[in-house]
Structure 1
Amino acid sequence: MYLIAVILLSILFIVVGTARFKQHPLLLLLLAALGVGLATGQPATDLIRTIGRGFGDLLGAIGLVVVLGSVVGVVLEQSGAAQRIADAVLRLFSEKRPALAMASIGAVVGIPVFCDSGFIILSKLSQHVAKRTGVSPAVTSLGLAGGLYTTHTLVPPTPGPIAAAGNLGAEPYLGIIIGLGLVIMLPNILLITWWARRAGSSLTLSLPEKDTAESTTQLPSLSASMIPILVPLLLITVASFGSLLGLPESLAGPVSFLGNPLIALLLAVFLCVPLLRHSTNSTLTQAISEGIVQAGPILVLTGAGGAFGAVLKATPLAEVVSGWLGGEALSGVGLLLFAFCTAAFLKTAQGSTTSSLVITSSLLAPFAVQAGFDTGLELALLVAAVGSGGMVASHANDSYFWVVSQFSGLNSRDAYRSFTIQTLLQGLVSIITVLLLYLLLQV
């Protein structure tokens, strides 16, 4: 219980410090990381190394992706391409449903693409949809963030659900897991649309006001505008599904290379060059410079969140959770609820959705068969229960929280009140859907 209390106090320290006392998250995250490490007996030299490694590892994983995504976003904005795409999206969904439009787009993109990368790529589009419809950009940002987050945690081939399926012996049933995830996605989309309108309408964002019309002469065509978005998404999608399709080695290597988010977004930067002729005051060099400036604060906060998460992972948290099982097998609804609660606790404490899914599914693997979960559908429901818990809840120790808040212009206090609560509600709606499906299929 001491470890649990320390972790909860560290989270409370960050939330209260940013939301109530308006302190900068960087300072609070580093102090929380040091506090947890010292309180749990981690040697000082090891603790300092863990903080540095956590900061560097996360930036090594997504740092350049954030920078390149920011550059693409700058070009899409300054060339008018984002405005052109926003017009097309609203013609498809109608201007009365901007939150539904962005949630639906996010849900589709989030199946093959990491939610962090997806939000970075589509954030400018979200802002232009908001501008076209007259709603707060927070509405469309919450819609996009929620849609991406839903399929990221529930639908393979994202790593979390794939790993959970592997640990639980459900790899032969990936098709069922994908189908079940898509079913659970539907009530999530409805929830996200309602919550984004309710929570986002009253929020004021800190994004700088820019008049795109002044920097453009004529809007680019829709096809030219879409290319820098569709090409990286397509490459990442093909690479994600490549492992499922069993591609020959001669193709798997090149596909995996081109589908890496870093390579895909680097290519997207070059594909943006033709759009620059529609901007009267921007060059590729200027766009890169502005993208780096925009990415700086995001990188610092994301890295600090990674440092905090690394210190939490260095605690014996997994062993504590494993001890909760007490060697007793659960059954039916009890196992599904335990899977949800365990994954939710690990997600909230450690910040990583993928880690929470991997650890929880590993702990549950010995008990699944004892509990009677041996068919494809039952195992798929168990994977979905773990994924539902992995949604609860995104906050200061989650890199996605900082990507969403910084790219959308939400301050920390508003991000807790809107996005963090949204992820909590998404997890609850998802597990309720899982339980209803389990009970219905048991009749």
Structure 2
Amino acid sequence: MLDLVILLLLVAGIVLVTARWKVSPFLALMGAAVLGAFLYRLPLVEIIPTVTTTFGTTLGNIGLVILFGTMIGVILERSGAAIAMAESLIRILGTRFPNLTMSLIGYIVSIPVFCDSGYVILNSLRKAITLRTGVSALATSIALMTGLYATHTLVPPTPGPLAAAENIGVADNLGMIIAVGLPVSVVAALAGLAYASFFSRKDFAPLPAEDAADISEQSYDELRESYGKLPNGFLAFFPILLPLVLICVGSVVKLPARPIGDGTLFDVVSFLGTPVIALTLGLICAVTLLRGHGKLARFNEQINDSVRIAAPILLITGAGAAFGGVLAASPLTEFLSDNLSGLGIGLAVPFLIAAALKTAQGSSTVAIVSSSAMVAPMLGSLGLGSPEGMVLSVLAIGAGAMVVSHANDSYFWVVSQLSRVPVATAYRTLTVATLIEGVAAFAAIWVASLFLL
């Protein structure tokens, strides 16, 4: 119980110093990581290695993805491509439902792509649609965030659900996981969309723009006119579509069935589908959108701006991972799993274990992988030993891994910083959105269990 109280105090401390006293989230998270290591009585010789290793590993895994994605976003903004994309989508979907547009795009994109990367790639499009339609930026941020989150934790070939299926023993039944996971994730996305709609006409005070050229600092008409002739709609989408398609195909060929075998073609497709390579190719495509004289000078300027914009996001993301690493190394995870596993409440057990681990250490993927390993031996005693029960358990773990995104989750900081949502507002909106979404997903899974079990 003391371990849980320590966690609550640490999280409350982060909230207090960042929201009220405006301390940098990076410093608050690093301070919480070090303080938490002492409070959880980690051996002194392990404290610094735990913090630095998780910090470095996280930046090593997604640092370049965030950086290259930011570069693509900046070029799309400055070239007018984001406006061209917004107008293309609006011609198809209309201007009445911008939140639905963002939720739908996020829902599709996050099936093969990590939600962090998806948000980085799509943020410039979100800003353009926000400006074009006049809806609150907070609403479109929540809609995109929850749309991405819905499939990220529930639908293979995203790595989390794949790993859970392997741990639980249903990796050969991915078709059923996808067939059940898609409608469940639709329910989750709709719940997030409904919550986002409450903020459609509500103003909030955003964080200051990085510079005067930020897309949200101008009216849509002014911005549209400043670019003159916009890029072709298809070419504008291509820097986003190419990396998404490559990552998606790269994920599909790695499925256990190995649809194209394990030869040279597999190696090439897997390489091209690596997020860093795919985004590098997307960046090359984005550069072709630059027009007129002085393209090289503008390219260099925009790359420098991208590095400056991405730097605080990278530091905050790494610090959040360090905090999560300390919690993962503490006795807290064992305490939570031991106390929840003995309740005997069926599908609620994998859901609650995943939710507890997610809230404690931040990473949805880590929560999914850890929870599935813990839950696998319990499934028979929980009445979930059938193939259908195992599939529903995978999905229940995915639903739990949404609950809740807060200070120790890199996704929380990616969304809040890129969307310029103040920390206090983010806790009241983004965190609540993930709670609603996770509970809605579990409710849909429970309804499905009435027919499948």
Give 1:292 deviation, angstroms. 0.7
Q: How does 1:13-412 map to 2 (within 5 A)?
A: 13-199=13-199, 201-206=202-207, 207=209, 208=214, 209-210=217-218, 212-213=223-224, 216-244=227-255, 245-246=257-258, 247-249=260-262, 250-277=264-291, 283-324=298-339, 330=344, 334-412=345-423
* 8 A contact 2:327–2:333 mirrored in 1: no
Tell me the CA shift for residue 124 of structure 1: 0.2
Q: Percent identity?
A: 42
| Amino acid paired to 2:91 | R
Structure 2 Cα separation of the partners of residues 91 and 374 of structure 1: 49
Q: TM-score, normalised by structure 2?
A: 0.92
1:289-326 Cα offsets, whole Å, 9 max, x none, are 11111111111111111111111111133332342267
Distance 1:166 1:108 in 2: 23
Is the CA contact 2:192–2:434 (under 8 Å) kept in the aligned structure 1? no
Q: Distance in 2 between matches of 1:35 and 1:420?
A: 24
Distance 2:303 2:377 in 1: 51
Normalised by the length of structure 1, the TM-score is 0.94
Change (3 A) 1:170 1:278: farther
Is the 8 Å Cα contact of residues 34 and 47 (structure 1) preserved in structure 2?
yes
Assess, with a 3 A threshold, how the Cα gap between structure 1 residues 130 and 46 changes in structure 2: closer, same or farther.
same
Deviations 1:370-422 (A, max 9, x none): 33323332221111111110000001111111111111111111111111110
Give the superposition deviation at 1:117.
Answer: 0.8
1:1-47 deviation per Cα after TM superposition (whole angstroms, max 9, x unaligned): 12121112111111222223332212211111111100111133321
- Using the TM superposition, name which of 245-254 and 413-422 deviates more: 245-254
Letter in 1 for 2:269: V
Q: For the residues of structure 2 that align with 1:440 and 1:14, how far apart are their CA atoms?
A: 43
**Structure 2 segments unaligned to the other structure (5+ residues):** none
Amino acid at match of 1:181: G
Cα offset for 1:441? 3.8
Q: Contact 1:216–1:280 (CA<8 Å) still a contact in 2?
A: no
Q: Render the CA deviation track for 1:207-248: whole Å, top value 9, x for unaligned.
A: 342564465231000111011011000000001111125032
Query: SS in structure 1 opposite 2:290?
Result: helix
Question: Would you say the 8 A contact 1:396–1:402 is kept in 2?
Answer: yes
Query: Aligned partners of 1:212 and 1:276: how far apart in 2?
Result: 16
Q: What is the CA–CA distance in structure 2 between the aligned matches of 1:155 and 1:198, rounded to whole Å?
A: 27
Provide the aligned C-alpha RMSD in A: 1.8
Unaligned 5+ runs, structure 1: none
SS of the residue corresponding to residue 199 of structure 1 reads coil
Paired with 1:102 and 1:291, the residues of 2 have a C-alpha distance of 23
CA distance in 2 between partners of 1:279 and 1:136 (Å): 36
Cα–Cα, structure 1 residues 150 and 105, in superposed 2: closer, same or farther, change >3 Å?
Answer: same
> Partner letter of residue 393 of structure 1?
V
User: Counterpart of 2:393 in structure 1: which amino acid?
Assistant: L
Answer whether contact 2:313 2:414 (CA < 8 A) is retained: yes
Alignment size in residue pairs: 438
Letter in 2 for 1:202: D
Residues 267-296 of structure 1: per-residue CA shift (max 9 Å, x gap): 111111220116988622112111111111
Deviations 1:313-368 (A, max 9, x none): 11133332342267x593xxx12111111110100000011111111111111121
CA distance in 1, matches of 2:37, 2:390: 37
Alpha-carbon distance in structure 2 between the residues aligned to 1:392 and 1:322: 16
Matched, 1:430 2:425: no
